[in-house]
Amino acid sequence: MHFDELGLAPELLRAVTEQGYTEPTPIQAQAIPIVLSGRDLMGGAQTGTGKTAAFTLPLLQRILPLANASPSPARHPVRVLMLAPTRELAIQVHESVRTYSKYVPLKSCCAYGGVDIKAQIAELRCGAEVLVATPGRLLDLVEQKCLNFSSVQALVLDEADRMLDMGFIPDVTRIINLLPKQRQSLLFSATFSEEIKKLADRMLASPLLIEVARRNTVSETITHLVHPVAVSAKRALLVKLLKSNDF
């Protein structure tokens, strides 16, 4: 299959081609048509599968008819909200959003904790159709009254299992309650515990389920090896292995 068979807009395909991608990954081939159709989705996929493009490309396309080059912030309300568990992942997802939206007049913004909030507030005040954020900082921004969610039409919860591990589900639930009920929701998780399924029940409406990796397994690019070793020799062994490149 080729990217141009997925029904994506030429401006998005141009950005994809520029990245050197010719074929969609399995999660992209499955998820893109579903997201384009407006359905909710529960995606079982790990990092490295191409899941970021699988949700970013079709969501950009869905809001593309509303793209405009107006300098007025009011013409650039938040339409897509992407939640990520960590600052690193939020930055990475935002990087992808910027890459894929290069040829469309859609603005994006990234908000995460651990840095001064003022610069993020200033950026948000200029307007952004796509907001990538960590849950805690997003709620801080809500408290500062610099966010209006009334135009949000899609929510993405990325790495939901890590959100759960990090104790973010109460924050995520608060955020979901602030969003319009009429919206598209996508949840991605590498594993599907009972708790994740419960969250999915609350968040998604008649979702389609796609899975590209076996449940509860680590990525196939990772190999596990066990070296039985005395505690006192751990560091020396690690140094030896790193130097030998043989692990």
User: Under the rule (CB under 6 A), what is the footprint of ligand AMP?
Assistant: 21, 23-25, 28, 47-53
Tokens read off for 94: 């935002």
Closest distance to ligand AMP from the beta carbon of 3 (Å): 7
Cα 150 from chain centroid (whole Å): 20
Instruction: Tell me the three state secondary structure of residue 189.
Output: strand
Q: Which is nearer to ligand AMP, 149 or 161 (CB)?
A: 161
Q: Which is nearer to ligand AMP, 47 or 86 (CB)?
A: 47
Q: Which is nearer to ligand AMP, 204 or 213 (CB)?
A: 213
Q: Which is nearer to ligand AMP, 49 or 120 (CB)?
A: 49
Query: In angstroms, rounded to a whole number, what is the distance separating the alpha carbons of residues 155 and 233?
Result: 48
The answer for residues whose C-beta is within 8 angstroms of residue 182's C-beta and 6 or more apart is 153
Closest distance to ligand AMP from the beta carbon of 25 (Å): 5
Query: In angstroms, rounded to a whole number, what is the distance separating the alpha carbons of residues 19 and 121?
Result: 31
Query: Tokens 């307007």 sit at which residue?
Result: 127
Closest distance to ligand AMP from the beta carbon of 52 (Å): 3
Closest distance to ligand AMP from the beta carbon of 92 (Å): 7
